[in-house]
Structure 1
């Protein structure tokens, strides 16, 4: 079988890796990427233990390379104005620069015999393959050309935001909410593998307009953000993305949903199929899990399902339909939770104006998807006591080391 991936992001590259492995090298895979090698958008991505477990289970050598290239962050703080920082216990994760992640995946793909064609923008008509995977991002040209078939809907959030980097080298994930003369602004600041943290800046539309950000240049906006968050940044500079910010750097989140992810021998994966608000930090993980789900449908799950007859169009079709149905069902509740997360941020200003107890506000942020229980709230309060916080951190570290040991790899 010949597979063509349109888009060399995490979904396309990981699909290529797994298809070569699961087919025993029999299936030919070509990845078409419109950018040149080493050129990508964004700064860093984060993931958790479940993703690392999946990576080791599907490709131990690739999982090891991913973990080795990543950085552990093991603390999370929520800061509100002049209040003392609130600590979030039990939280840790891994971060990797997006360019490093793509390099890890591309090296592994090429090692397995995948052909990657850089500087190769494509649409469906360009691809001669038995299976085409449209993994070309939120603005997917392939999906857009067939939006009526896929039943694509794109809903836009209200809050303006901008992706920046920060010249920062910290192991702490920080949420910082600060007042301005026009309202509240906040940043999500998290570390990366290359010493450049990701800094997502967000505010409500009225604040954005009142501060003049709607007509500021990118450079002017960066200087304003640096002044608002000077304490957290501690003199570290903010970094514009590759290619600069341009005259209109601010974005609004676009939630992409599709009624179906399949059109004949074409399937969607990653942001082309679905998006989740950046506030839950799951986009890359979900994209790679799409690839896992697709290879499971095609090649079967050891000890559970048999491989499809990929030499037969009907066999491939049944596998692609199974992927479509199963993966959409899994993603739906995650998108619902991500929307609740987005709506929380769109109404954050009201809560911030009334904050008297930053610990309670931090709990509202932590439980913004509505999936925490009473015990978590009790633990959240207890975590603010230094001695109890250290105990909880020790237990979290022990849990992390145990999971690492179960994988038989480095922690």
Structure 2
């Protein structure tokens, strides 16, 4: 918005200290760069130059096989601290004020503002004050997961599935620098309890996980963030939706408006997409209510489609044993099809066979009445 009209007076209020963030790396795809190039090409170029790029996917299936898909969709990784630093510096260079360690808990603190954009996360204080108006709903996922880092720099996006006496546990991993990667560990609640992870402190949890995933870590440690009592930071994913994304001069963006399961790696891209769409709506219509209504209607419809795909992706992992009796190639193929709304209702092997049969069909030609089929 500042780039579009330098006369805008914009302040960003950040609750955390400068340089502080939770998490390790951000994974993203071309969509994020496209949105950022549209909104601010200078930021997009710097982000791309500081990102790690990969074009292959690897699945390690414990003691069975390793499956690799080359020439897949290009993915990128960048450290969260680095991404925030790039965006903050760009904002300041355009004349945007950034005030750190300043949390906004009530709109009255910003009296006189034409527009308040709440990007304060899934636990948004500004949204929760009007939860009935926004129609906020949260659905809790079944599986347990923990967000970790590692000093092992993976060279592709990887999935690692390990079978234990208590069921399967798996890792999503991707590099975000030349010497660090992110690793998200996930398992069913039964496996989590069977391994004793529900009652171990973080250090013991990490030690066990390092043993289970030794094949992909190559001796590198896992890095975590213990809670105040030293326990491990295990979570259940919360899918958040809202019936509307605006109220008066308040608009929601990012996780304050919606969440999508981490298995599709879209959270940051969608947040930046929200911001770009909102800025474009405000540029096209200087009537605030009309601009916010347009943003709400059109962007929310797009996010619903992505949330459905994320729901099926999460469901695929929640029903992982359904797919683990397949051959490694079949399992890996259906891993790539996990966004399908049909897959949960069709026997996996049949779905795989039908999919391959369709792919082998010749491209349809043009057939006109009275002509010969060719």
Structure-1-length-normalised TM-score: 0.81
Structure-to-structure mapping, 1:101-140, within 5 angstroms: 101-123=83-105, 124-128=107-111, 129-140=113-124
CA–CA distance in 1 between the matches of 2:355 and 2:336? 9
8 Å contact kept, 2:188–2:318:
yes
Deviation at 1:74, TM superposition (A): 2.2
CA distance, structure 2, for counterparts of residue 109 and residue 243 of structure 1: 32
Deviation digits for residues 27-76 of structure 1 (CA, Å, limit 9, x no counterpart): 11111111101100111111112322332232221111111111112221
Going from structure 1 to structure 2, the CA distance change for 1:246 and 1:137 (only over 3 Å counts) comes to farther
1:140 to partner: Cα distance: 0.8
CA deviation vs aligned residue, 1:126-181 (integer Å, no higher than 9, x gap): 22311000100011111111111100000000100000001112321110000112
Cα distance in 2 between the residues matched to 1:247 and 1:171: 31
Can you give the 5+ residue segments of structure 1 that lack an aligned partner in the other structure? 1-18, 301-307, 310-314, 383-411
1:93 and 2:64 aligned? no
2:313 matched to 1:341? yes
What does the per-residue CA deviation read over 1:247-281, in whole Å, with 9 as the maximum and x for residues that have no partner? Answer: 14110000000000010000100000000000000
Q: Which residue of 1 aligns with 2:164?
A: 180
Seen in structure 2, the aligned counterparts of structure 1 residues 74 and 244 have a Cα distance that, compared at 3 Å, is farther
Cα separation, 1, equivalents of 2:353 and 2:194: 41
* Deviates most, 248-257 or 51-60: 51-60
Q: What's the counterpart of residue 326 of structure 1?
A: 298
Tell me whether 49-58 or 238-247 shows the greater mean CA deviation: 238-247
Q: Which secondary structure does the structure 1 equivalent of 2:65 belong to?
A: coil
Unaligned runs of 5+ in 2: 344-350, 361-374
Secondary structure of the residue aligned to 2:10 is strand
Once the two structures are superposed, residues 348-407 of structure 1 have per-residue CA deviations (whole angstroms, 9 ceiling, x without a partner) of: 03322x23x10000111111001899999659x99xxxxxxxxxxxxxxxxxxxxxxxxx
Rounded Cα–Cα distance in structure 1 between residues aligned with 2:96 and 2:120: 18
The correspondence for 1:66, drawn from 47, 53, 68, is 47
Write the distance in 1 (CA, Å) between the matches of 2:146 and 2:243: 29
User: Is the 8 Å Cα contact of residues 144 and 189 (structure 2) preserved in structure 1?
Assistant: yes
In 2, the alpha carbon distance for the partners of 1:230 and 1:358 equals 20
Q: CA 1:96/1:375 → structure 2, altered by over 3 Å: closer, same or farther?
A: farther
Distance 1:322 1:114 in 2: 25
CA distance in 2, matches of 1:375, 1:126: 60
Secondary structure of the residue that 1:199 maps to in structure 2? Answer: strand
For the 8 Å contact 2:138–2:239, the answer to whether it is kept is yes
Structure 2 SS opposite 1:252 = strand
Q: Distance in 2 between matches of 1:51 and 1:96?
A: 12
Match of 2:32 among 40, 51, 63: 51
Matched, 1:273 2:245: no
Over aligned residues, Cα RMSD in angstroms? 2.2
Contact 2:313 2:339 in 1 (8 A): yes
Partner residue of 1:233? 217
Which of 269, 280, 293 matches 2:277?
293
Map of 1:388 onto structure 2: none
Report the count of equivalent residues: 348
Q: 1:20 is paired with a residue of what secondary structure? A: coil
CA contact (8 A) 1:96 1:194 kept: no
The normalised TM-score by structure 2 is: 0.88
Instruction: Give deviations 1:309-352, integer Å, cap 9, x for gaps.
Output: 3xxxxx11111111111111110011011001111111103322
Q: Distance in 2 between matches of 1:75 and 1:376?
A: 25
Counterpart in the other structure of 2:13: 32
Q: 1:188 to 1:328 in 2, by over 3 A?
A: same
The Cα of 1:194 is off from its aligned counterpart by 5.4
In structure 2, what is the Cα distance between the partners aligned to 1:236 and 1:156?
A: 32
Query: Are residues 283 and 252 of structure 1, via their aligned partners in 2, closer, same or farther at CA, if it must alter by over 3 Å?
Result: same
Q: 1:273 to 1:322 in 2, by over 3 A?
A: same
* Alpha-carbon distance, 1:94 to partner: 1.0
Out of 196, 203, 210, which is 2:180 matched to? 196
* Aligned 8 A contact 1:74 1:93 in 2: yes
Contact 1:297-1:319 at 8 Å conserved across structures: yes
